[in-house]
A and B are shown apart, each in its own frame.
Chain A
Amino acid sequence: MTKSQLNSVIHAPNRLKICAFLTPLQEAEFQVLRDELGVSDSVLSKHLKQLEAAGYVAFRKGAVSGRQRMWAGLTKSGRKAFSGHVEELTRIAGVLDTRPTT
């Protein structure tokens, strides 16, 4: 076991997945995020609100064909925090980070 500098907000599995999915993107629609994560609306809302409270995610409301849609995207501090978290995971795992850059 290793004492780490991991980010406790990002570390929860679903929040880690949300941040990872949003990393290559500018924004993603709520329904797209829900489908990719395979979680319910309420679970996704809960995690997004926690990320928003930490300043890692920002929301935007938009309309498509008259229907209201919510979009979420990582903020600059969210990208920085996620990057730091992944660096720490990489250090703990003792592997090289071979992910494509954005």
Chain B
Amino acid sequence: MMNDVDNLSPEEAKEALASVVNMESAGWRRAVPDRWFGAVVAVLIASLFALYALEDPYPYIVFPILGLATFIAIAREKSGAYGQDFPSSKTNVWAIIFFAAVMLVVFFGSIYIRRAFDAAWVSLVAGLLVGLMVFLASEGERRAYLIKTGQGESN
């Protein structure tokens, strides 16, 4: 590849673009989250919801919250590289807003029903449901990353 910015031939530009595609693919491969990462995050978030099955969950809810923050921080530091925190496409931003809204509805809805009808099982079902949603979302993200690296169809 030449380094003459003012006089670049189409062939040299194609060569530069090929190197860009190769390195971006390498970046996407590094950004693919591990399956266990999504699973652990799902379990911690599910436990936060399920704790409301207890009569007095408030002394305990700090544990899954702290656990989640600590786990994400350690996993990132050990990964060597990780994907972007905030998606740049509008579709992905709306998907995150929708997902967060559903989580909030399930969270406050389950707390209301649990208290109104003294039904502890509602919090456990909400935890299970949210855990499943988070895991499936993380699997969806994993698949999207794999497609971008060109490995999506085989996984």
Binding site for B on A (CB under 8 A): 1-4, 6-8, 11-13, 16-17, 20-29, 31-32, 36, 62-64, 69, 86, 89-90, 92-95, 99-102
12 further A-B pairs in the complex, CB-CB below 8 A; given A64-B77, A100-B28: A3-B6, A11-B5, A20-B24, A20-B27, A24-B148, A27-B81, A36-B30, A63-B77, A89-B20, A90-B13, A94-B10, A101-B88
Interface members, chain B 79-99 (any A CB < 8 Å): 80-85, 87-89
B residues in contact (CB < 8 Å) with A? 1, 3, 5-10, 13-14, 16-17, 19-24, 26-28, 30-31, 77-78, 80-85, 87-89, 147-148
Residues A16 and B30 in contact, CB atoms below 8 Å apart: no
- Evaluate contact between A62 and B77: CB separation under 8 angstroms: yes
Complex contact A31–B19 (CB within 8 A): no
Distance to closest chain B CB from A16 (angstroms): 6
Ranked nearest first, the 8 interchain pairs of A and B with the lowest CB-CB distance are A20-B23, A93-B13, A28-B81, A92-B13, A100-B148, A32-B80, A24-B27, A20-B20
User: CA separation between A20 and B29, bound complex, in Å?
Assistant: 13
Complex Cα spacing A102 to B148, Å: 9
Which residue of B3, B23, B83, B89 is within 8 Å of A11 (Cβ)?
B3
The answer to whether A2 touches B8 (Cβ under 8 A) is: yes
**Residues of A with C-beta under 8 A to B27:** 20-25, 28
Bound Cα distance from A25 to B19, whole angstroms: 17
B-side contacts of A4, CB under 8 Å:
5-8
Query: Chain A interface secondary structure, helix, strand, loop or mixed?
Result: mixed
**A32 contact set on B, CB distance < 8 A:** 30, 80-81
Contact of B5 among A6, A101, A102 (CB under 8 A): A6
Q: How far is the CA of A7 from the CA of B16 in the complex (A)?
A: 13
Q: Is the beta-carbon distance between A23 and B24 smaller than 8 angstroms? A: yes
Chain B residue numbers with a CB within 8 Å of A95 are 14, 17
Question: How many angstroms between the C-alpha atoms of A31 and B82 in the bound complex?
Answer: 14
Q: In whole Å, how far is B137's beta carbon from the nearest beta carbon of chain A? A: 18
Q: A90 to B17, Cβ gap below 8 A?
A: yes
CB distance from A9 to the nearest CB of B (A): 10
Contact between A29 and B80, CB atoms less than 8 A apart: yes
19 A–B contact pairs at CB < 8 A? A2-B9, A2-B10, A4-B5, A11-B5, A20-B20, A20-B22, A21-B23, A24-B31, A24-B84, A24-B148, A25-B82, A26-B85, A28-B27, A32-B30, A32-B81, A86-B17, A86-B20, A89-B16, A92-B10
